[in-house]
Amino acid sequence: MSIWKRARAAVRRWKIMTNNRTLPVRLLELADDRFGAGDIAWVFVGDLLDVLDQDDRRELRLAMTSEDFGDHAKRRTPIILAAENLRLANHHAEALALRMLAVRCCDADELDGIYDAIEKRALAFVSTVPVEQKDRADRIVRALEVWEAAALGAFPADERSLFDRVAEQGERPIDFNMKFVDPAVAAALPMPLELLLLKRWDDAIETAWQRTQLLASEGDVLMIEALFRQHGYPSRDEWASAIDIVVQSLDQRGYVEHATAWRMLRVDAQDPFSVMAMLPHLYWHLDRATLDESTKSELRHRLHYWNEIANGKWIDSEFSVFRIAGVEGPNRSKERQAAGGAPKGIWAAVNKEPEEGVVSGETKLLPRGLPPGIIVIPKAGATTLRRDTHGEYRDLVGQHLSFVMTPNLSEVRAALLREYPHAVREIGVLLRDLKQGTPAVMKPMLIVGEPGGGKSRVVRRLGEALGLFVYRYDASAAMDNMFGGVSKSWSSTVPSVPTRALAMAKSANAIVMVDEIEKAGSSRHNGNLWQAMGPFLERETSSRYRDVSLDCEVNLAHVSTIATANSLDGLPAFLLDRFRIIRWPMPTLAHLPQLAAGVLAEIERETDEQGFNLPLDPDELEAIGRLWARQKFSMRRLRRMIEATLDARAATAPRH
């Protein structure tokens, strides 16, 4: 019997059970030698001709009836074009089916974009299969495993149709040639480490949401669920704003571990500094977790490739960091070894042999394999910390904390200038001590300017741009020397503010922002803030600070202290001598259009209304400008005016 007769017989037999919505799943069942494997799948194209335009229909007919019908490569172009047209016409199931017919085993990139949709449809279909048809369900699942393996790059040299591969595979297990961790073990890990073990970005976003949805706000739930329901699975770029909103929400409510995991979803292999900023957090969780050797080895293996990405070795790759660490990196290593390269240890390529004094005269980098960093609390000379009062600091003793490295300074400067176009010189001074690719550390700075000028906000924005944790200390409420810690002999014992900042940041560097420093109490009865800050403003003393609460020596030399003040009046000379003074300017009417656009964008991000608010028109800007001038160009007042303008728009908008 010819292939066409066999194919038509198969279609007649299955047509009753097949509709366009289940067509992608039904194609998974076609890998059967009795019906000619992949070639039969093409017969289903005929069912799609009615929804195609005339040109696509003609191209498909030519592809199906030509002498080159068996040449998979020559059939791809018309099929891919038709699939895209079907997708644009909202025939998503049909478009997915056509793309399934076009891909080859080696098309991992293309498969990575459609596998998720195939899997969702297949698993939903399998769940409805009666028990007496268990073999059928098993056949679909086995085919799905082959498709997943191809999406993960398991068949890089196989240019055949995936239907042929499934037929050949049969019931034999797939050799991924990779390590796997028991899913039960992975689920018990801290959330960032669980994501680290995944090989696909799509799996990471779904896992993150499964672990987070019970903690999310109602607005976040509606937003994320809407994206999951969207046809044609959203791209990573389409997810970006939603991820940022979830991270901000989790941070504000203190779910630090979950926020860290969601930040992993925003890193990009083409932006090595975004990966570099995540490494300290991942190493922190790895060092603290109780793991068996197999799991720890696999996690370190993944981090090896994250280090490679942070060092720019994958900057030309379009894969996600999860795909690189789980699939592409190991594959490339095997290819190098097969080509005759000497086998290297997992960590050999991460760092060169560390040299003394690379970061500073008193700082030594740890053995190769760890990113640049220091031990903040050395074991030597450390006392036993109490579990009830210092539980979170016990883990810091003898532990390596990584540095957050300085990202591209041009991008940092541009981001700050978009929000502060009136402070070009001042932003230059803020960034003066930083050098790209080195630990982000700045000398003590004091920003002084009129109330409402945005001094505190620029410190927070600076921290965000650099990837540094910002610990805010309210100086107006400081009446004693608690900034330096409270002795462990007191029941209210607490470590110094810089030590607390590093414990929360989980990195060796952070920013401590002392807000409104001039308002601190000046009495010396119980000490005061200004005296307590002294040791932290000198590198010599901060690198060997004896914390009175921990009774341990702590290296705080890489904590940057930035203070704000409305005036320098009353501040002692010894304190001013230790700061670089930056006089923060107020904006003018000339800066209003750019500032208003920035404030409007910020409001949209916070309220999840991106794209809903039109730019302020000239009349609105003119009215705001007149009132803003009377308020002495306060940035705080400008935001309130723009919010009032948006409320007025909403109140007067026509309702249907």
289/427 same-domain check: no
Q: 3-state DSSP call for residue 387?
A: helix
User: Is 359 a member of any domain?
Assistant: no
Helix (H) or strand (E) holding 461: helix 455-466
> Which tops the pLDDT comparison, 366 or 377?
377
Residues 548 and 595 in one domain: no
Q: How many CB atoms lie under 10 A from the CB of residue 310?
A: 25
Give the pLDDT of residue 184. 54
Same domain, 248 and 144: no
Residue 551 tokens read as 């009774």
**Together in a domain, 610 and 569:** no
Decide if 404 is inside a domain.
no
Contact 527, 479 (CB under 8 A): no
Q: What is the largest CA-CA distance in the chain?
A: 102
Helix (H, G, I), strand (E, B) or coil at 192: helix
What pLDDT is recorded for position 379?
77
pLDDT band at 386; cut points 50, 70, 90: low
Backbone angles phi, psi at 67, to 5 degrees: -70, -20
10 and 158 fall within a common domain:
yes
Q: What is the pLDDT of residues 223-247, one digit of tens each?
A: 787 777 664 456 777 788 888 888 8
- The three state secondary structure string of 495-537 is CCHHHHHHHHHCCCCEEEEEECHHHCCCCCECECHHHHHHHHH
Looking at the domain assignment, is residue 386 inside a domain? no
Beta bridge partners of 607: none
Confidence at residue 348, expressed as pLDDT on a 0 to 100 scale: 35
Query: What percent of the chain shows pLDDT beyond 90?
Result: 13
Spatial CB neighbours of 15, under 8 Å, sequence gap ≥ 6 = none
What's residue 296's pLDDT? 84
Quote the mean pLDDT of the chain.
Answer: 76
124 occurs within a structural domain: yes
In a domain, 354, yes or no: no
Per the model's pLDDT, the better-predicted residue between 525 and 265 turns out to be 265
* Residue 444 in this model has a pLDDT that exceeds 90: yes
Task: Please indicate, yes or no, if residue 401 is contained in any of the structural domains.
Answer: no
Q: Does residue 526 sit in the same domain as residue 544? A: yes
Is the domain of 435 the same as that of 551?
A: yes
Q: Is the model's pLDDT at 435 over the cut of 70?
A: yes
Residue 135, number of CB atoms within 10 A of its CB: 8
pLDDT at residue 362, as a whole number? 38
Q: Is 180 helix (H, G, I), strand (E, B) or coil?
A: coil
Asked if pLDDT for residue 110 goes beyond 80, the answer is no
199-208, 227-236, 362-371, 438-447: least confidently modelled range:
362-371
Q: How far is CA 473 from CA 129, 209, 456, 510, 511, in A?
A: 60, 33, 11, 13, 11
Report d(CA 567, CA 520) in Å as an integer.
12
* Residue carrying the six token digits 């190098």: 336
Q: Indicate whether 312 and 417 sit together in one domain.
A: no
> Which of 24-28, 344-348, 375-379, 382-386 is predicted least confidently?
344-348
100, pLDDT greater than 50: yes
In a domain, 177, yes or no: no
Note the pLDDT tens digit of each residue in 527-547. Answer: 889 989 999 998 888 988 988
pLDDT at 1 over 90: no
Name the phi and psi angles at 159, rounded to 5.
-100, 10
| Rg of the chain taking only CA atoms, in angstroms | 30
Whether pLDDT at 569 is above 70: yes
Residue at which a domain ends, from 560, 583, 606 = 583
pLDDT tens per residue across span 624-642: 888 888 888 888 888 888 8
Q: Which residues pair with 373 in a beta bridge?
A: 402
* Domain boundary, last residue among 562, 583, 604: 583
Same domain, 126 and 203: no
Q: Which of 533, 554, 583 is the last residue of a domain?
A: 583
Do 298 and 348 contact (CB within 8 A), yes or no? no
Using one digit for the tens of pLDDT, what is the confidence trace for 301-331? 888 889 888 878 888 888 889 988 887 777 7
Per-residue pLDDT, 60: 67
The pLDDT, as a whole number, for residue 18 is 47
Name the more confident of 423 and 336.
Answer: 423
pLDDT of residue 389: 66
Q: Output the pLDDT for position 356.
A: 35
Distance CA 302, CA 562 (A): 36
Which residue did the predictor score with more confidence, 358 or 148? 148
The H or E element spanning position 4 is: helix 3-15
pLDDT surpasses 60 at 13? no
pLDDT of residue 360: 35
Q: Do 46 and 150 have their domain in common? A: yes
Q: Which of these, 128, 161, 122, 178, lies nearest to 145 by C-alpha position?
A: 122
pTM, to two decimals? 0.50
Residue 506 sits in a domain whose CATH number is 3.40.50.300
552 and 430 belong to one structural domain = yes
| pLDDT of the residue at 440 | 92
Query: How far apart are the C-alpha atoms of 440 and 433, rounded to whole Å?
Result: 9
**What total number of domains does the chain contain?**
4
Q: Once rounded to an integer, what is the mean pLDDT over residues 363-386? A: 66
Half-sphere exposure of 373 (CA within 13 A, CB side): 28
Residue 37 has pLDDT above 60, yes or no: no
Residue 370, domain member (yes or no): no
Q: pLDDT tens across 460-489, in order?
A: 999 999 999 999 999 988 888 889 888 877
Domain housing 9: 3-169
Confidence of residue 338 (pLDDT cuts 50, 70, 90): low
Rounded Cα gap, residues 65 and 245, in angstroms? 52
Verify that 191 and 112 share a domain, yes or no.
no
Say if residue 153's pLDDT is above 80: no
